[in-house]
Chain A
Amino acid sequence: MNEIVESLQPRFAGIKPRESSDHPAIQCPVGFILPLIECLRDEFDYKLLSDVTAVDWGEEESPRFSVVYHIFSIKAAAHIRIVADCEDDENPSVPSIVSLFPAANWHERETYDMFGIRFEGHPDLRRILMWDEYPYYPLRKEFPLAGIETELPDAEIAEETRAKVLAAPMMGGPFVAKEGEPMSRSEPRAKDQSWTEWSKKTLEEE
């Protein structure tokens, strides 16, 4: 499974196989991202970039952010995963791979939007889902699902309607079914999580 990693190791000092339950995975220092992915693309036929995303390991962890690339080889019908830990936990950044895969453009913008990881050398690093002035990075661990109160994107409309971006009422949620229980008990409604803001849950959280 890890022949590729072994054959690459002499050329890229510091890369190592990474524990994975599915595809072969490489732990890669940030500095090797560009040459490693270029090598995989040109010499190992990993020509289809299927995903760029990131992981936030939590505020206390260091390294806190890892960027994850999934690349697919059409010839071998196989994926490979490359993971790079960002060196800076406050202002994480990695080199952009748009020069190798144009498809990475929007993936990197989304990762920047959600995690605040800067992709150095990206031709147009703007937010893609949230609006440009939005002050938070929603997929970071400290960001609550309900959101944080802030201003609407359009100041004129905000003044006219006096509306704001408000934290969503969670009403006992998030309503996520738990694993490993029968449906009758794992479904949120089974816990009598109330649909109103004011009444209490009858069953205790386990």
Chain B
Amino acid sequence: METQSSQVGYNSKVEGDVIVTKVDAVINWVRKNSVWPMPMGLACCAIELMGVAASRFDISRFGMEVMRFSPRQADCMIVAGTVTYKMAPVVRRIYDQMADPKWVVAMGACASTGGMYRSYATMQGVDRIVPVDVYISGCPPRPEALLDAMMKLQKKIEKEPSFKQLGKETEEKRVWA
């Protein structure tokens, strides 16, 4: 009896045109090479973010040049800048509006920890309201640092089970300060 897999292995007509792999690997490979960022530009980090999108640094080498200003069309929120308490609920609401699967990059000292703004008005790290996948140090970070973070995010996406977190933003994925 001929099964599908035996055909792949032994049928010389299709051999070489067929790749055997895992669904996770394929889906994650697709996902990691077309991360559409949502530029949450809140301060000077956003200028570096624009630099990353421009020709010198060219984020499109990683398939991430499609900056979407609508959260409905984005999968990675790049929080670039100081998150004030007044802005924080807005950041969270935009995050909620993004479709799963979604990731968050905290770009720069302010988004990661509040940075130099130790004051009544500044949220001390955006991870108090959204789950952050990658933190970037710097004030502001060099564009290379953002690219490095996006490559790290790609590595992280690669290893994720592609279906597990869909549709349920679970307690374990949340990060609480």
Interface of A is mostly: loop
Given contacts A161-B128, A162-B176, A163-B128, contact A147 B121 (CB under 8 A): yes
A131, A145, A148, A157: the one within 8 Å of B93 (CB) = A157
B88 interfacial contact with A, CB 8 Å: yes
Q: How far is the CA of A170 from the CA of B114 in the complex (A)?
A: 12
B118 touches A169 (CB 8 A): yes
Q: How far is the CA of A160 from the CA of B91 in the complex (A)?
A: 13
B129 touches A168 (CB 8 A): no
Instruction: Report B-chain residues with C-beta under 8 Å of the C-beta of A144.
Output: 120
B86 interfacial contact with A, CB 8 Å: yes
Instruction: Report B-chain residues with C-beta under 8 Å of the C-beta of A102.
Output: none
Instruction: Report B-chain residues with C-beta under 8 Å of the C-beta of A171.
Output: 118
Given contacts A163-B129, A166-B124, A169-B124, contact A153 B118 (CB under 8 A): no
Q: How far is the CA of A158 from the CA of B89 in the complex (A)?
A: 8
Q: How far is the CA of A131 from the CA of B84 in the complex (A)?
A: 10
Shortest Cβ distance from B172 into chain A, in angstroms? 15
Instruction: Report B-chain residues with C-beta under 8 Å of the C-beta of A173.
Output: 118
B92 interfacial contact with A, CB 8 Å: yes
Instruction: Report B-chain residues with C-beta under 8 Å of the C-beta of A148.
Output: 120
Q: How far is the CA of A140 from the CA of B78 in the complex (A)?
A: 35
A147 touches B120 (CB 8 A): yes
Shortest Cβ distance from A166 into chain B, in angstroms? 7
Tell me the total A-B contact number using a CB cutoff of 8 A. Answer: 66
A residues contacting the other copy or chain, number (CB 8 A):
30
A143 touches B128 (CB 8 A): no
A168 touches B93 (CB 8 A): no
Instruction: Report A-chain residues with C-beta under 8 Å of the C-beta of B89.
Output: 152-154, 156-158
A146 interfacial contact with B, CB 8 Å: yes
Instruction: Report B-chain residues with C-beta under 8 Å of the C-beta of A167.
Output: 120
Q: How far is the CA of A158 from the CA of B117 in the complex (A)?
A: 22
A152 touches B122 (CB 8 A): no
B119 touches A147 (CB 8 A): yes
Given contacts A161-B128, A163-B129, contact A174 B118 (CB under 8 A): yes
B129 touches A161 (CB 8 A): yes
4 closest cross-chain pairs (CB), A and B:
A147-B120, A154-B89, A157-B89, A168-B118
**Residues of chain A having any CB pair with chain B under 8 Å:** 129-131, 136, 138, 143-148, 152-154, 156-158, 160-163, 165-171, 173-174
Residue contacts A-B, CB under 8 angstroms, 28 given: A129-B86, A129-B121, A130-B86, A131-B85, A131-B86, A136-B120, A145-B120, A146-B118, A147-B119, A148-B120, A152-B85, A152-B89, A153-B85, A153-B89, A154-B89, A154-B93, A157-B89, A157-B93, A158-B89, A162-B176, A163-B123, A163-B177, A168-B114, A168-B117, A168-B118, A168-B119, A168-B122, A168-B124
